[in-house]
Amino acid sequence: MSVNWRNIGLFAAMGVVLLLTGAFQSWQLALTILNMSLISAIMALGVNMQWGYAGLFNVGIMGFTAVGGLAAVLIAMPPVGDAWAAGMIGSDQPWRFGIAGTLLGLMLGVATILAAVAVYKRMTPGRLRGAAIIGVIVAGWAVSRFFFAPATSAIQAVNPASEGYLGGLGLPVILAWPVGAVFAAGAAWVVGRISLGLRSDYLAIATLGISEIIIAILKHERWLARGVNNVTGIPRPVTRPVDLQPQPWVQELAARLGWTVPETAAILSALGYALLFTIVLAILIWLAEKALNSPWGRMMRAIRDNEVAARAMGKDVTRRHLNIFVLGSAVCGLAGAMMVSMDGQLTPGSYEPLRFTFLIWVMVIVGGSGNNWGAVLGAFVIWFLWVQVEPAGRWLMETVTANMDVGSELRRHLLDSAAYMRLLTMGVALLLVLRFSPRGLIPER
Amino acid sequence: MDPLSALITLTNFVLIPAFAYGSQLALGALGITLIYSILRFSHFAHGDIMAFGTMVVIYTTWALQSAGITGGGVLPTALMAIPVGIAAMVVYLLVVDRLVYRYFRQVKAKPLIFVMASLGVMFVTNGLTRLFIGTSERRFEDGQRFIFSVREFREWSGLAEGLALRSAQAITILAALLVMLALFWFLTRTKSGKSMRAYSDNEDLALLSGINPERVVVITWVIVAALVVTAGTLYGLDKGFRPINYFQLLLPMFAAAIVGGLGSPIGAIVGGYVVAFSEMGITYAWRRFFSHMLPEGMAPDGMMQLLPVDYKFAVTFAILVIVLIFRPTGIFRGKSI
Q: Please indicate if any CB of chain A lies within 8 Å of the CB of B128.
A: yes
Same domain, A69 and A98: no
Write the CATH number for A189: 1.10.3470
- Listed residues A134, A166, A198: the one ending a domain: A166
CA distances from A54 to A297, A426, B91 (A): 9, 25, 37
Q: How far apart are CA A263 and CA A257, in angstroms?
A: 11
Same domain, A67 and A102: no
Q: Please indicate if any CB of chain B lies within 8 Å of the CB of A204.
A: yes
Q: A206, B128: Cβ pair inside 8 Å? A: no
Q: Are B138 and B240 in contact (CB under 8 A)?
A: yes
> What is the value of ipTM here, to two decimals?
0.90
Same domain, A333 and A184: yes
Total number of domains in chain A: 2
Q: Are B237 and B141 in contact (CB under 8 A)?
A: yes
Residue A442 located in a structural domain: no
User: Which residues, numbered 80 to 109 in chain B, qualify as contacts with chain A under a Cβ-Cβ cut-off of 8 Å?
Assistant: 99-100, 103-104
3-state secondary structure of B166: strand
Chain B contact set for A55 (CB, 8 A): 112
Q: Are A430 and A366 in contact (CB under 8 A)?
A: yes
Q: What is the pLDDT of residue B324?
A: 76
Q: Please indicate if any CB of chain B lies within 8 Å of the CB of A280.
A: no
Same domain, A370 and A411: yes
pLDDT in tens, B157-177: 888 788 889 989 999 999 999
- Listed residues A113, A137, A166: the one ending a domain: A166
Residue B140 located in a structural domain: yes
Q: What is the pLDDT of residue B322?
A: 80
Q: How far apart are CA A340 and CA A235, in angstroms?
A: 10
Q: What is the pLDDT of residue A2?
A: 55
List, for chain A, all residue ranges whose pLDDT scores fall below the cut of 50: 1
CA dihedral (A216, A325, B271, B10) in degrees, to 10, reads -20
Q: What is the pLDDT of residue A144?
A: 87
Q: How far apart are CA A305 and CA B111, in angstroms?
A: 14
Q: How far is B270 from chain A (nearest CA, A)?
A: 19
Residue A250 located in a structural domain: yes
Q: A195, B121: Cβ pair inside 8 Å? A: no
Which one of B112, B251, B316 has the shortest CB-CB distance to A57?
A: B112
Terminal Cα-to-Cα distance of chain B (whole angstroms): 53
Q: What is the pLDDT of residue A4?
A: 81
Q: B113, A434: Cβ pair inside 8 Å? A: yes
Same domain, A290 and A224: yes
Q: Which residue of A has its CA nearest to B316?
A: A209
Residue B115 located in a structural domain: yes
Same domain, A174 and A298: yes
Q: What is the pLDDT of residue B123?
A: 94
Q: Which residue of A has its CA nearest to B322?
A: A194
Q: How far is A209 from chain B (nearest CA, A)?
A: 6
Same domain, A101 and A207: no
Domain that holds residue B234: 14-245
Strand partners of residue B305: B285
Q: What is the pLDDT of residue B335?
A: 58
Same domain, A211 and A305: yes
pLDDT in tens, B24-54: 999 999 999 999 999 989 999 999 999 999 9
Q: Please indicate if any CB of chain B lies within 8 Å of the CB of A199.
A: yes
Q: Where are the beta strands (DSSP E) in A181-271?
A: 231-232
Same domain, A98 and A73: no
Q: Please indicate if any CB of chain A lies within 8 Å of the CB of B300.
A: no
Q: Please indicate if any CB of chain A lies within 8 Å of the CB of B337.
A: yes
Residue A288 located in a structural domain: yes
Same domain, A183 and A330: yes
Total number of domains in chain B: 1
Per-position pLDDT tens, chain B of length 337: 788 888 888 888 899 999 999 999 999 999 999 999 999 899 999 999 999 999 999 999 999 999 888 777 788 889 999 999 999 999 999 999 999 999 999 999 988 899 999 999 999 999 999 988 888 888 888 878 888 888 888 888 888 788 889 989 999 999 999 999 999 999 999 999 999 999 988 888 988 999 999 999 999 999 999 999 999 999 999 999 999 899 989 999 999 998 988 888 999 999 999 999 999 988 888 888 888 887 777 777 677 777 788 788 888 888 887 887 778 788 887 654 3
Chain A contact set for B321 (CB, 8 A): 194-195, 206
Domain that holds residue A110: 82-166
Q: B131, A438: Cβ pair inside 8 Å? A: no
Q: A206, B132: Cβ pair inside 8 Å? A: no
Q: What is the pLDDT of residue A87?
A: 75
